[in-house]
Structure 1
């Protein structure tokens, strides 16, 4: 009996391997991410070692299904380099950053799961720090201030950026324009409506632009527009964000201008200014940064930001 079971097991394993071999020849899985750690003094005056720019680990894959169609997936988690703990451990899911599966073809890409909304997934292109630096990024400080993308995504607490149970679509680029959409067919009983996010993106040579609208499940709304012009080793960016909270009639309007300049193959300078009008009160934010590329993957950086108080920090980031 034991011998018969062994033969059946061997046959099953060989059969699985035989079926998997062609798939492996037409599919690929990659592991990548970013490691970041710095020493910084926060706006609260506390000096600490920690993540200035988010660290993440991602597993992604693609399989060619034939006929110009591919299956895609992505799993990504974010973590704190100074402690090794998952970001938001205890209330955020392990695959906090993204967990999606979908199809890609000439008609675009459709994914489902948890991921950044259309607006949040693309606004980084108009900020020198890619909305990824807690000290220097005007986007991090002022954009989408009153409108969490999913008010209940993290075990009942708000998520700024991502949507649970979502469907995400990116169109092919037609005439220099790309449409990006996200939403969910589900209605959270704690909310009043289904969330939706829509982006129209433009790119032609030195010019780039984006217009976006987003509404979350409790009726908060965000209107966003941005533009970028690149010339030589420099780029200038401008953005406007209008964030409105339904429950309180709160409103945050942010006017942002920023620039970057690549001095040589190693040094890049960045600066930004943002004026936020939050419920009638003006908040100004000024920042500066410098990156020094040790290689194509490793960078040393210095960041400073000022809003009422000053925050400074320096650190190292490695992309793999």
Structure 2
């Protein structure tokens, strides 16, 4: 059966089609992610050598879904759902007991006032840590990330006990980011403890400054509740709370970009634990597509009469095959008081989509 198209109905039909097109344009949804795999010898200080294929050493593998809806008047509704996974074995999470949407699970609003999100996201301290070292958010190779966040749970960690509590992301939280004022911006996060051994709340923030070749940050957090990852507060007998602060800066000279960080973590427990951490690094361009990366981090942990030092040196070469794909080679030396030095050699491939 044919339905006649009357000229008089054309404006109504056209309006309907334009309305549907407008609705499609008003909301955008993206699927994206990253796969990172490396192969070689992996060894933390005080642990055995492991020759294997590893996921997420240069950057944690993940898949994400995000979107935004234009509400008019400069206001947008946003959401993000991002899940880590181990690409070498195909399982979800960064490690065994990880939640599924551990990277992000939040909904929010953005506009002239800035951005406001509720749910789970990365903490301001973590963002400052990854921005001001040449290896970014590399849990496997960045001395800064390893010494602040990587609770490796092996024999070496039993000696050093990576002290930061609360994971690199907080759930049950509210996040606010200011608009940019010139090169200046700030972020605040508050997370509820929600009972159990978690007293809560956690709160923290950072200030970021980017102007030409120079950039800098200051970050702070106060933690009373643990998350699904990171060090557990139950590892500190009589735990009450923990505070941490960090300063970071970088300068791009063109022929090299230099990075520096310094910070302290103080854990209030039966035995007070203080940790001081410093990191210096450089990224040196090699031709139009490559860069030599180098970083040295030193962390001093003082727990009463017991003092431990962790010294980590990482040198590598990263080469971009395209805007989305790079290959790299890494050497890492990990030293820890009173245990055997660990040596890591690895080559890897990273792809973003």
TM over 0.5: yes
Q: Does 1:292 align with 2:298?
A: no
1:133 and 1:140 in contact (8 A); partners too: yes
Partner of 2:292: 269
Q: Does 1:48 align with 2:60?
A: no
Equivalent-residue separation in structure 2 for 1:254 and 1:177 (angstroms): 25
Structure 1: gaps of 5 or more residues = 1-16, 150-159
Equivalent-residue separation in structure 2 for 1:189 and 1:123 (angstroms): 29
1:211 maps to which of 214, 218, 243: 218
Partner of 1:254: 277
Equivalent-residue separation in structure 2 for 1:133 and 1:265 (angstroms): 27
1:187 and 1:217 in contact (8 A); partners too: no
Please say which of residues 17-26 and 263-272 is displaced more in the overlay.
17-26
Equivalent-residue separation in structure 1 for 2:325 and 2:319 (angstroms): 9
1:71 maps to which of 63, 69, 77: 77
Partner of 1:96: 102
Q: How many residues are paired up?
A: 293
Partner of 2:24: 24
Structure 1 residue 41 displacement after superposition: 1.4
Change (3 A) 1:20 1:113: farther
Partner of 1:312: 345
TM-score (normalised: structure 2): 0.79
Structure 1 residue 21 displacement after superposition: 5.5
Q: Does 1:239 align with 2:275?
A: no
Partner of 1:178: 185
Structure 1 residue 20 displacement after superposition: 6.6
Structure 1 residue 90 displacement after superposition: 5.8
2:191 and 2:200 in contact (8 A); partners too: no
Partner of 1:80: 86
TM-score (normalised: structure 1): 0.86
**C-alpha RMSD of matched pairs (Å):** 1.9
User: 3-state SS of the aligned residue for 1:143?
Assistant: helix
